[in-house]
């Protein structure tokens, strides 16, 4: 079974890159959001429109995430949920989340959230750059290759 790519599609800046890598490898892409958005008409690209509500899109992705899925999200709590299932998880800037990195990412997110709720001005995320886009393409390619290798039955190279 080939890997599939799940994209947390709300405000995702790398959807086109997902389509490009998926097309090269013949993989299905699921774009999950709770509002209408544009997506190419292609049998390997599926828009999943979930009901409005907190974490509904995240729940849809997390409930289906497993070791055969690649999840693209900037949402750290969603990334943590998907890492627990064994999914390959990466952020739009190319950062790969795994068991060794997700704890620190969650701690940093929670710290920044506490600072903001306490009135501290922490600034927003830095702007998305061409370098981030390039890093994402490389990371997604590595995830696809790794996911394919990890799914081969025992005894196959």
Between the CA of residue 3 and those of 23, 35, 77, 102, what are the distances in Å?
12, 26, 22, 22
Asked whether the beta carbons of 26 and 146 are under 8 A apart, the reply is no
The 3-state DSSP class for residue 152 equals coil
**Chain segment 71-112, per-residue pLDDT in tens:** 999 898 999 999 999 999 999 999 999 877 776 667 666 666
**Chain segment 99-149, per-residue pLDDT in tens:** 777 766 676 666 667 766 777 666 666 778 999 999 999 999 999 999 988
Please report the domains of the chain, with CATH numbers, ordered by start residue. 4-150 (3.40.50)
Q: What are phi and psi of 63, to 5 degrees?
A: -70, -20
Indicate the pTM of the whole model: 0.84
């Amino acid at each position: 079974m080939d890997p599939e790519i799940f994209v947390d599609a709300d405000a995702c800046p790398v959807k086109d890159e997902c389509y490009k890598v998926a097309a090269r490898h013949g993989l299905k892409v699921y774009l999950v959001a709770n509002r209408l958005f544009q997506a190419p008409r292609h049998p390997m690209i599926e828009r999943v429109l979930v009901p409005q509500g907190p974490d509904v899109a995240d729940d849809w992705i997390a409930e289906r995430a497993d070791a055969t899925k690649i999840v693209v999200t900037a949402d750290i709590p969603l990334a943590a949920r998907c890492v627990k299932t064994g999914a390959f998880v990466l952020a739009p800037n190319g950062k790969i989340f795994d068991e060794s990195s997700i704890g620190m990412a969650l701690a940093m997110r929670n710290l920044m959230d506490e600072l903001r709720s306490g009135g501290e001005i922490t600034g927003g995320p830095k702007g998305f750059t061409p370098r981030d886009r390039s890093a994402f393409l490389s990371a997604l390619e590595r995830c696809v290759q790794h996911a394919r290798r990890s799914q081969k039955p025992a005894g196959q190279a």
